[in-house]
Structure 1
Amino acid sequence: MSLLEVKNLKKVYKTRFGGNEVEALKNVNFSVEEGEYVAIMGESGSGKTTLLNILASLDKPTSGTVLLDGNDFSKIKESAVAEFRRDHLGFVFQDFNLLDTFTLEDNIYLPLVLAGKSYSEMNARLNPIVEQLGISGLLKKYPYEVSGGQKQRAAVARALITEPRIILADEPTGALDSKATDELLRLFRKINQQGQTILLVTHSIKAASHASRVLFIRDGEVFHQIYRGENTSEQLYQKISDTLTLLAQGGDRR
């Protein structure tokens, strides 16, 4: 059984006064295997942000199902959604979402504090993660005292410390310079190679070219997908670029 299964997903929004309906997602179907690194791409308005919000259990579909380890998101009680999200999903955002009044260490600890974990358990989880991410010497600093790349590493540490089943990353390189972007993408590859499942939503061809599979969303549907296979990141980059050109030109599915 796949780790994540998305079946016949549809999302319809009503306009403010209920006069019109906007179909953000039409009939989305795909699955993610444990240990996969999947990127989702598409033009603005294609539905990928709506899809991510549903996968993050921040929004509910109009119809269709999302299963994580066989658990149907729609069957989770409203009172238990936040706990489910905290225990099973890790999040990395474009704007880091760190609290400026907390040190990096406290920001990383936050989901475990909310889960009621003991300090000894939190500390045992923290040390190997921050050493791997190269931020062990920055833990007492505040977000405004470190660079964008260091903030994002802290955000990745916060996502990993809960030992999530899947990491959902929303444009994680969007606020980073080229050097910090390259460093973060190398870290994502390394984390994935250690077994962590990652689902990345991005506009960046460079970011997507580090994934093992790329899904393309157009007009609320999965338009096409590319597997890395034996391709290098450079070869995958070119294939992604070609597909995005086809998307922009309104080409048919391959």
Structure 2
Amino acid sequence: MTLLQVQHLRKVYTTRFGGNQVEALSDVSFSVDAGDYIAIMGESGSGKTTLLNILAALDKPTRGNVLLNRKNIVQIPEKEISEFRRNNLGFVFQDFNLLDMFSIQDNIFVPLVLSGKKHKEMEHKLMPIAKKLGIEHILTKFPYEVSGGQKQRAAVARALIADPELILADEPTGALDSKSTDELLEHFGQINKEGQTILMVTHSIKAASHAKCLLTKPYILLYSAWS
């Protein structure tokens, strides 16, 4: 089943000084099926982050459409877009984006708190995810008390806890050492085997090699890219 459809995306920025136009994306089209695990690769400046921001409903294209479960996110009103992201998308960032004043548990709870879920429901959902990611023993600690790999696994738990349709990962291994990278990629693989759709932007050949498919500049989807 097709989960995500990207149709003829074009993004043009106007520079602050001089008013010159820069085309970040030009006629990008591809689709993602439910259960896919796709890596997006390309050199710096190739538009990867721009593409991810549009898929995350953080930016709007100059032209084109993005359909998630047939809903065109480009046309969602601004007042509804935050709720849409919370209900449908999970995010994993290179720099973790954890709040230092919150415990690991409370960081993971953030999407559910914003959605108005009750604490009992949040606790019920937390432990299976924490055990799966091997972080159940650090839930009461704070981000500054744990390793980078543990922080990133907490970020993955935060992305998973709201049962998103799609996880968007932006260089998720970029701040990790080799051992933590291997552990995270193993968890991503297992999460995907359980049915979670993942779209990952990365510069890392190692990270990309764990995905099922590769999307490269000019954003051509290569299925079974590593077979």
Shift of 1:18: 5.5
Alpha-carbon distance between aligned partners in 1 of 2:10 and 2:45, rounded to the nearest angstrom? 15
Distance 2:72 2:185 in 1: 31
Instruction: Look up the equivalent residue of 2:189 and give its one-letter code.
Output: R
Render the CA deviation track for 1:40-97: whole Å, top value 9, x for unaligned.
0000000111000000100000000000000001221110000100110000000000
SS of the counterpart of 1:208? helix
How many residue pairs get aligned? The number is 227
Q: CA deviation at 1:228?
A: 2.4
Cα contact 2:30–2:221 (8 A) shared by 1: no
Task: Name the counterpart of 2:59.
Answer: 59
Alignment match, 1:239:
none
- Distance, in Å, in 2 between the alignment partners of 1:115 and 1:63 is 31
The answer for the alignment partner of 1:146 in structure 2 is 146
Amino acid in structure 2 at the alignment position of 1:228: S
Counting only pairs closer than 5 Å after superposition, residues 167-246 of structure 1 correspond to structure 2 as: 167-217=167-217, 221-222=218-219, 224-228=220-224, 231=227
Alpha-carbon distance between aligned partners in 2 of 1:206 and 1:175, rounded to the nearest angstrom: 14
Question: Does the residue aligned with 2:2 lie in a helix, a strand or coil?
Answer: coil
Letter in 1 for 2:186: R
Helix, strand or coil for the counterpart of 1:163?
coil
How many Å apart are 1:206 and its aligned residue? 0.2
1:179 alignment partner, SS class: helix
Taking structure 2 as the reference length, the TM-score comes to 0.98
Name the counterpart of 1:79.
79
Q: Trace 1:9-158 onto structure 2 (pairs within 5 A).
A: 9-17=9-17, 19-158=19-158
Q: Where does the alignment leave 5 or more consecutive residues of structure 1 unmatched?
A: 232-254
Secondary structure class of the residue paired with 2:44 = coil
State the Cα distance separating 1:229 from its structure 2 match. 7.0
- Taking the aligned partners of 1:109 and 1:94, their CA distance within structure 2 comes to 20
Q: Is the 8 A contact 2:212 2:226 kept in 1?
A: no
Partners of 1:152 and 1:55 in 2: CA distance: 21
Unaligned ranges ≥5, structure 2: none
Q: SS of the counterpart of 1:3? A: strand
Whole-Å separation in 2 of the counterparts to 1:229 and 1:48: 18
Distance 1:19 1:205 in 2: 37
Q: Deviations over 1:171-223 (max 9, x none)?
A: 00000000000000000000000000000000000000000000102xxx32x
CA shift for structure 1 position 2? 1.1
Is the partner of 1:35 in helix, strand or coil? Answer: coil
Secondary structure (helix, strand or coil) at the match of 1:101 reads coil
Distance 1:32 1:178 in 2: 29
How far apart in 1 are the matches of 2:221 and 2:104? 37
Q: Which runs of 4+ in 1 moved over 4 A?
A: none
Aligned AA (2:173)? T
Taking structure 1 as the reference length, what is the TM-score of the superposition? 0.87
From the CA coordinates, give the structure whose radius of gyration is larger: 1
Aligned partners of 2:89 and 2:83: how far apart in 1? 10
**Percent of counterpart pairs with the same letter?**
65
Give the distance between the partners of 2:3 and 2:14, measured in 1 at CA.
32
The CA distance in 2 between the partners of 1:23 and 1:74, in whole Å, is 18
